[in-house]
Amino acid sequence: MRTRIVDALTAVEEVKDGDTVLVGGFGMAGMPVELIDALIEHGAGDLTIVSNNAGNGDTGLAALLAAGRVRKMVCSFPRQSDSWVFDGLYRAGKIELELVPQGNLAERMRAAGAGIGAFYCPTGVGTPIAEGRETRVIDGREYVLEYPIRGDVALIRAHVADRLGNLVYRKTARNFGPVMATAATITIAQVSKIVEVGELDPETVVTPSIYVNRLVEVA
Amino acid sequence: MRTRIVDALTAVEEVKDGDTVLVGGFGMAGMPVELIDALIEHGAGDLTIVSNNAGNGDTGLAALLAAGRVRKMVCSFPRQSDSWVFDGLYRAGKIELELVPQGNLAERMRAAGAGIGAFYCPTGVGTPIAEGRETRVIDGREYVLEYPIRGDVALIRAHVADRLGNLVYRKTARNFGPVMATAATITIAQVSKIVEVGELDPETVVTPSIYVNRLVEVA
Amino acid sequence: MALDKNELAQLVAGDIPDGAYVNLGIGQPTSIARYLSPESGVILHTENGMLGMGEVVPAERADWDLTNAGKQPVTELPGAAYFHHADSFSMMRGGHLDVCVMGAFQVSAGGDLANWHTGAADAIPAVGGAMDLAAGAKQVWVMMTLFTKSGEPKLVPACTYPLTGKACVTRVYTEVATFHITPEGVRVTATYGIGIEELATRLDMPLLA
Amino acid sequence: MALDKNELAQLVAGDIPDGAYVNLGIGQPTSIARYLSPESGVILHTENGMLGMGEVVPAERADWDLTNAGKQPVTELPGAAYFHHADSFSMMRGGHLDVCVMGAFQVSAGGDLANWHTGAADAIPAVGGAMDLAAGAKQVWVMMTLFTKSGEPKLVPACTYPLTGKACVTRVYTEVATFHITPEGVRVTATYGIGIEELATRLDMPLLA
């Protein structure tokens, strides 16, 4: 259905307490900072956040965590030099952590977006990550069964959108955006610029408009 | 390892009797006609061909079939108005057919390229395609377990390559090329033009050079 | 009076919600595109790898790198996007298309779809993307004649032809009547030149009005 | 004499085949890039979504949309390509990278790798892409000091730390010796300032020469 062009606060108005929110970005590259700020202002809590990292410094995702809105983090690399907000919450037992290898995080969201029920993945075999999970040997190699990660909402950052919602990204800020856009019921994209329909080359569109429900221009 | 720029006959010289060859294209769009002609000249037989269709008219894939080089076709749609070569071989019992829904064909090759051991897919549940296959109910929905399709060789057609082997495609001729390129031990791409390294925009590369082993320029 | 093919295509087109992402199957459903206005914002998907597909064009204007799923040359509309087959079918399988419209040999009262194989022993099987669409689109609509040339109903209590997908069809559009397949049963939503009693008799199944 | 960090990086760089597609792990392995000549045609992958990655640049020249897996700003080389995370990890998991070089806490004689978690109860676990690389690259090389600061060997009969991957490491590069992990056992391929007998004694494992 048609992509709506709105302001950040309107864009996040449908987020509900208890939602699973996919948050793009790898470190700060591709992090939808203004959408996260709007989510904080919006006030939804008891959230499960799926993102590669667990916040840097005191802004963005870290601020959402500091505001006590997050029940659980699903991520591959929470521990960083400037992840003091998460570190404190974790050590105080105030936040759950599901640690997922980075590729599994991406592939499990990809599966959600692609209608795949589950998949056998070689990553993590023989490690604590695989403990308690179903495994199977296929063609002589051992795999772990992995399930999709779906979002109620995805907050992503792209570079340029057209008014239909087609997206292009910029350099390694592309990272999780295109995958998360497919895996959420409502995908909200923050972009630097919105152009007219027809201004993007159809060969270069990375996220087709079908995956984008709300567009927010943040110049 | 480095992509080699060669002529069509040199490109296919490593194809062996009994190989599985992935052949790009949807109808004639993206069909690597000159590579198929080279494969016919090369002479390898007892091949398994994986391609969406089973040849059109008397050229390309149809000519390979007519030359008696193909033991088995794996495809989604063999029957077309001009698939008389395949039709004749099939009715004469001279060729095996594995019919795979089009999306499963793509996803099974994608799985091969992505290191996925198998995946649960909703397509074909309750149909003859699922007969004899393992099924599982996940979250209330039934899925069929599907396994990867790997190629010894992939023959694909793209639009422009740089000398490293990065590829861009043209319109719907893109179809199976990017997926097959990831799923074969040796990927051979026929392109209309080879440009210098640096002439393709890194944001618009569809198949990165890592997936391309041989490049053949067919102006 | 029964609808002709163009009237039927127009009827289906009118029921497609504004802004919907839609896949129109090979053959008759392709003609629905002619009745979709640009203002509707409906965006057409073709499974060979494109959103924003335009109209079918004659061979003399063809770009053979730009075809629909039936391999006919088409145009590209502003705002189009190209993608490869795995991405295209992920879009379908992942439930992102709002509506797909396909032809059918048979549809069952429970929404089972049979449209890929007559079951004839000597037929060369070919399925293409039909099973993927049946399994993946949010709504699967069927556009067909209600009866075969020999007068057999194609909306049936249970399909006798091999299935394409189970319990997937939500609407059936035919030249003499349109139906919604609901959990309560098959509901007739309109008739054209046939009474509902005659319809129920000829279909040999209970119908909700 | 034992190698310093730069000499070790140079040694590893020299062993990377021309034209290889390579992922260099966060930390020490990143420095290998400095010793790869453009003529070698080695192409660097970074798991956050790029092939053709160039050098690390100082903050004043940073483009923060262009970073490596360690979130340091880098450059883009001619012939680069960007892709999203699922595609990037498919490239890794699918066995398309020729070599990856990672640091390690421990490597076992059988090639098991432990480099993500010390097992300490109060440590916050973080794995990133290490398990994906361990499971996916054609060859996994480890670059590390052979002993901890307190003198404990890091090449061990069996890892005591939680594993990153099983039987995946094929080569170990350290400041005092380099090793190939083979089906027959651990083979010493070079030593720097240490005798092979002393090495075997300190490592407490049989070594092939």
Rounded Cα distance, A150 and A95, in Å: 20
> Measuring CA to CA, which residue among C168, C73, C150 is closest to residue C114?
C168
> Measuring CA to CA, which residue among A128, A120, B182, A76 is closest to residue D130?
A76
CA closest to D46 among chain A residues: A172
Partner residues linked to C208 by β-bridges: C187
Rounded Cα distance, C123 and C120, in Å: 5
Q: Three-state DSSP class for B193?
A: strand
CB B106 within 8 A of CB B77: no
Which of A90, A122, A172 lies nearest to residue D65, judging by beta carbons?
A172
3-state secondary structure C66-103: CECCCCCEEEEEEEEEECCHHHHHHHHHCCCCCEEEEC
Say which residues have a Cβ less than 8 Å from residue B135's Cβ, sequence separation at least 6. Answer: B125, B142, B143, B144, B145
Amino acid identity at B42: H
3-state secondary structure chain A: CCCEECCHHHHCCCCCCCCEEEECCECCECCCHHHHHHHHHHCCCCEEEECCECCCCCCCHHHHHHCCCEEEEEECECCCCCCHHHHHHHHCCCCEEEECCHHHHHHHHHHHHHCCCEEEECCCCCCHHHCCCCEEEECCEEEEEECCCCEEEEEEECCEEECCCCEECCHHHHCCHHHHHHHEEEEEEEECEEECCCCCCCCCCCECHHHCCEEEECC
CA angle D141, D144, D145 (to 5 degrees): 150
Answer whether B125 sits within 8 Å of C165, measured CB to CB.
yes
Write out the residue range of the structural domain in which residue A39 sits. Answer: 4-115+149-217
CB D103 within 8 A of CB D29: yes
Rounded to the nearest 10°, the torsion over CA C49, C53, C55, C58 is: -40
Say which residues have a Cβ less than 8 Å from residue C180's Cβ, sequence separation at least 6. Answer: C170, C171, C186, C187, C189
- Which pair of structure tokens corresponds to residue D55? 């050098």
Residue D48 to chain A, least CA–CA distance (Å): 6
Q: For residue C28, which phi and psi values (nearest 5 degrees)?
A: -55, -45
Q: Does A1 score more than 80 pLDDT?
A: no
Q: What is the DSSP letter of B188?
A: E
Residue-level pLDDT at A19: 98
Rounded to the nearest 10°, the torsion over CA B138, A180, B112, D40 is: -160
State pLDDT tens for residues A2-44: 999 999 999 999 999 999 999 999 988 999 999 999 999 999 9
Residues of C belonging to the active site: 47
Would you say residue B66 lies in a domain? Answer: yes
Residue A127 to chain C, least CA–CA distance (Å): 30
- Given CB atoms, is A134 within the 8 Å cutoff of chain B? no
> Measuring CA to CA, which residue among B111, B91, B94 is closest to residue B103?
B111
- Which pair of structure tokens corresponds to residue C206? 């209970």
> Measuring CA to CA, which residue among B19, B27, B29 is closest to residue B174?
B29
Q: For residue A62, which phi and psi values (nearest 5 degrees)?
A: -60, -40
Q: Does D122 score more than 90 pLDDT?
A: no
Residue-level pLDDT at A99: 96
Q: Three-state DSSP class for B40?
A: helix
Q: Chain-centre distance of CA C204, in angstroms? A: 23
Would you say residue A22 lies in a domain? Answer: yes
For residue C138, the number of C-alpha atoms closer than 13 Å in the C-beta half-sphere is: 11
Residue A40 to chain B, least CA–CA distance (Å): 32
Which of A77, A107, A177 lies nearest to residue D89, judging by beta carbons?
A107
The residues of B whose Cβ lies within 8 A of any Cβ of D are: 1-2, 110, 112-116, 162, 164, 166, 182, 197-198, 200, 202-203, 205, 208-211
Answer whether D66 sits within 8 Å of A29, measured CB to CB.
yes
Touch between chain C and chain D: 3 or more Cβ pairs under 8 Å: no
Residue-level pLDDT at C209: 84
Q: Could you tell me the CATH number of the domain that includes residue A79?
A: 3.40.1080.10
Which of B114, B198, B209 lies nearest to residue D93, judging by beta carbons?
B114
Would you say residue B14 lies in a domain? Answer: yes
**Optimal mutation site among C26, C48, C166, interface B, most CBs of chain B within 10 A:** C48
pLDDT band, very low/low/confident/very high, at A80 (cuts 50, 70, 90): confident
Q: Does C183 score more than 90 pLDDT?
A: yes
> Measuring CA to CA, which residue among A110, A46, A38, A35 is closest to residue A72?
A46
Mean pLDDT score, C156-178: 97
Mean pLDDT score, C132-139: 97
Residues of A in contact with C136 (CB under 8 A): 115
Neighbours of D193 (CB within 10 A): 10
CA closest to A111 among chain D residues: D86
C-alpha gyration radius of chain D: 17
CA angle B58, B62, B63 (to 5 degrees): 70
When the pLDDT of each residue in chain B is averaged and rounded to a whole number, the result is 97
Residue A30 to chain D, least CA–CA distance (Å): 7
Rounded Cα distance, B216 and B198, in Å: 19
CB A203 within 8 A of CB B169: yes
Say which residues have a Cβ less than 8 Å from residue D38's Cβ, sequence separation at least 6. Answer: none
Residue-level pLDDT at D28: 92
- Given CB atoms, is B140 within the 8 Å cutoff of chain A? no
Say which residues have a Cβ less than 8 Å from residue B18's Cβ, sequence separation at least 6. Answer: B46, B47
Would you say residue B144 lies in a domain? Answer: no
State pLDDT tens for residues B111-145: 999 999 999 999 999 999 999 999 999 999 999 99
Q: Does B1 score more than 80 pLDDT?
A: no
Partner residues linked to B74 by β-bridges: B50, B98
> Structural domain boundaries of chain D?
5-208
- Which pair of structure tokens corresponds to residue A112? 């959600």
3-state secondary structure chain D: CCCCHHHHHHHHHHHCCCCCEEEECCCHHHHHHHHCCHHHCCEEEECCCEEEEEEECCHHHCCCCCECCCCCEEEEEEEEEECCHHHHHHHHHCCCCCEEEECCCEEECCCCEECCCCCCCCCCCCCCCHHHHHHHCCEEEEECCCECCCCCECEECCCCCCCCECCCEEEEECCCEEEEEECCEEEEEEECCCCHHHHHHHHCCCCEC
Element housing C171 (H / E): strand C169-173
Q: Could you say which architecture CATH assigns to the domain C5-208?
A: 3-Layer(aba) Sandwich (3.40)
Residues of B in contact with A121 (CB under 8 A): 115-117
Mean pLDDT score, B42-49: 97
pLDDT band, very low/low/confident/very high, at B81 (cuts 50, 70, 90): confident
Answer whether D79 sits within 8 Å of B162, measured CB to CB.
yes
Rounded Cα distance, A209 and A211, in Å: 5
Residue D195 to chain B, least CA–CA distance (Å): 36
Would you say residue B135 lies in a domain? Answer: no
Which of B103, B124, B170 lies nearest to residue C89, judging by beta carbons?
B103
State pLDDT tens for residues B141-167: 999 999 999 999 999 999 999 999 999
For residue D154, the number of C-alpha atoms closer than 13 Å in the C-beta half-sphere is: 26
Structurally, chain B folds into a number of domains equal to 1
| Chain D: partners with 3+ C-beta pairs within 8 Å | A, B
Give me the count of residues in chain D: 209
Q: What percent of chain C has pLDDT over 90?
A: 95
Mean pLDDT score, B3-9: 97
Pairing relationship of beta strands A167-168 and A160-162 according to DSSP bridges: antiparallel
Touch between chain A and chain C: 3 or more Cβ pairs under 8 Å: yes
Q: Does B196 score more than 90 pLDDT?
A: yes
pLDDT band, very low/low/confident/very high, at D209 (cuts 50, 70, 90): confident
**Optimal mutation site among B22, B102, B167, B176, interface C, most CBs of chain C within 10 A:** B102
Rounded Cα distance, A134 and A115, in Å: 20
pLDDT band, very low/low/confident/very high, at C119 (cuts 50, 70, 90): confident
pLDDT band, very low/low/confident/very high, at A110 (cuts 50, 70, 90): very high
Residue C114 to chain B, least CA–CA distance (Å): 9
- Given CB atoms, is B74 within the 8 Å cutoff of chain A? no
Whose structure tokens read 């592309």?
A: A174
Specify the pTM: 0.98
Residue A91 to chain D, least CA–CA distance (Å): 8
Residues of D belonging to the active site: 47
Touch between chain B and chain A: 3 or more Cβ pairs under 8 Å: yes
Residue-level pLDDT at C122: 82
The residues of D whose Cβ lies within 8 A of any Cβ of B are: 17-21, 41, 43, 45, 50-52, 76, 78-83, 90-98, 135-136
Residues of A in contact with B136 (CB under 8 A): 117-118
| Chain B: partners with 3+ C-beta pairs within 8 Å | A, C, D
> Measuring CA to CA, which residue among A179, A167, A163 is closest to residue A204?
A167
When the pLDDT of each residue in chain A is averaged and rounded to a whole number, the result is 97
Mean pLDDT score, C140-151: 97
Residues of D in contact with B205 (CB under 8 A): 81-82
Q: For residue D112, count CB atoms less than 10 angstroms from its CB and return exposed for 0-12, middle for 13-18, buried for 19 or more.
A: buried
How many Cβ pairs closer than 8 A exist between chain B and D?
64
CB D94 within 8 A of CB A119: no
Q: Does B219 score more than 90 pLDDT?
A: no
- Which pair of structure tokens corresponds to residue A41? 């202002």
Answer whether A206 sits within 8 Å of D84, measured CB to CB.
yes
Q: What is the DSSP letter of B77?
A: B
Answer whether C93 sits within 8 Å of B123, measured CB to CB.
yes
Answer whether D135 sits within 8 Å of A91, measured CB to CB.
no
Answer whether A1 sits within 8 Å of C52, measured CB to CB.
no
Q: Does B46 score more than 80 pLDDT?
A: yes
CB A172 within 8 A of CB A14: no
Say which residues have a Cβ less than 8 Å from residue C1's Cβ, sequence separation at least 6. Answer: C192, C193
